[in-house]
Structures are given as C-alpha cells and as structure tokens.
Amino acid sequence: MAAINLDPFKTQGAFSGLFNVESRGLTQGDAQDDPAIRMQLCSGTLTDDLDAPVWGGLGVVECISTVETNVSGSTIKKATASVCNAFSVFNQAYHGITTASNPVPLYLAGSSIHYYRVGSGARIPLPISANVAALATGNDPVGADGFVWDLVNNCVDVYSSSSSANPKVNISLLMVSQQGNLTVKKDTDGNVVWENDKPCGLFLI
C-alpha cells in the first residue's frame, strides 16, 4: 500500500508580517477593547450546511435557532444578498483551528463562533475596498455611512446602484488604516492566510 504524503503537524518558519515593530495598523476581526461593550459579545453555532470555514471579520446572519438547538445560542449563517446583521470576531474564540498552511483561525460547520450584532456599538476592524479607503480625505465626517458587505470580495464597499446584489449594512466608518494591517485572504488553493498590504477600516457597528 502506498504511503500517504501528508503531515498536518509539520513545522515551518514564521509567516511573514506576524512580527514587526510598527504600532500602527489594525487586525481584521479583532474588536477593540471597550469595557462598556464587551458584554455584548455573543456566541452562536454555525449552520450545519455551511459550505466553507468562517473566520473573524466576516459579515454573517444571526438566525433564530430551532427549539431543539437554541441552548447553544443563535444559528449563524454567512451573509446573504439581502441580510447581514452581525460580524464575526476572533475575540475570546480560542477554539479556532489553525494549521501550518492555514495560520488564520477557522471555524467549521456545526462549531461555535463569536460575533457582535449590528447595533451593539462594537468597534471592529474590517477589510475595505479602494472606494472606502478613498473616504479618508480629512473632509468626510466620522460616521459616514452608506456601506454594503461585498459577498464576493469579503470586504466593506460603498453602496451604489451596481452593488445592489450585496446587503446594505448600517455601520459607521471611524478610521482608515492604509498600512501595518493584518487582513485575511483566501488563496486560490484554498488556504486562508494573513496579508499585510491591504487597507482596513475601523467601523462602529
């Protein structure tokens, strides 16, 4: 019988961008510390028919669980074209799965995940499009709104007639960070990795 060439516990060097001396920058899905808001952190169960893992800083839908399953909290699904009422976070979610090729903590179908509801007042770093990054002019007021969650690119975009296939989200932009960020990228080979050259926005949700 041929040997299987697989070693899920192999070790390798540190991933680029994990160690630096810069104090600027945001980490996607890492909600900001706030004693007045931390009790709003929720835990739910990812739906069993989830087609791919979920990570922090994604738009999700909090659904009312069945009577049989509501002991584990709400049922969580990926955002749809019509609804995005919460955002997943890494905060206190220590059970996320990482491997040598997937350094980003992942949460699978049927497992629990932490999130903040839209309207909770949490401040969460989220990946943004170039159109959102362009709002950092010094002239647009804090709290500029009119955003959608881009279902294809997994980022916040500015609402327009061409973005109507994405759910509108009632969140406010507080800050844009152009460098020093850690955002999540899903490679073409399926690996979910960190990247540190993309803009990130701090949103009040």
pLDDT digits (tens, 9 = 90+) for 151-198: 999 999 999 876 678 999 999 999 999 989 999 999 888 899 999 889
177 and 26 Cβ atoms separated by less than 8 Å: yes
Give 199's pLDDT tier (boundaries 50, 70, 90): very high
Q: What's residue 24's pLDDT?
A: 80
Range of the domain at 122: 38-204
- Spatial CA neighbour of 114 closest among 86, 89, 78, 97: 89
Tens-place pLDDT, residues 99-143? 988 999 999 999 999 999 999 999 999 999 999 999 999 887 877
Average pLDDT, whole number, for the chain? Answer: 89
- Within a domain: 108: yes
Instruction: Please tell me the total count of domains within the chain.
Output: 1
Q: What's residue 189's pLDDT?
A: 86
Tokens of 169: 């989200």
pLDDT above 60: residue 8: no
- Within a domain: 189: yes
- Within a domain: 48: yes
pLDDT above 70: residue 204: yes
- Within a domain: 131: yes
- Within a domain: 128: yes
- Within a domain: 152: yes
- Within a domain: 8: no
- Within a domain: 16: no
Burial class, 74, CB count within 10 angstroms (exposed 0-12 / middle 13-18 / buried 19+): buried
- Spatial CA neighbour of 121 closest among 11, 200, 52, 35: 35
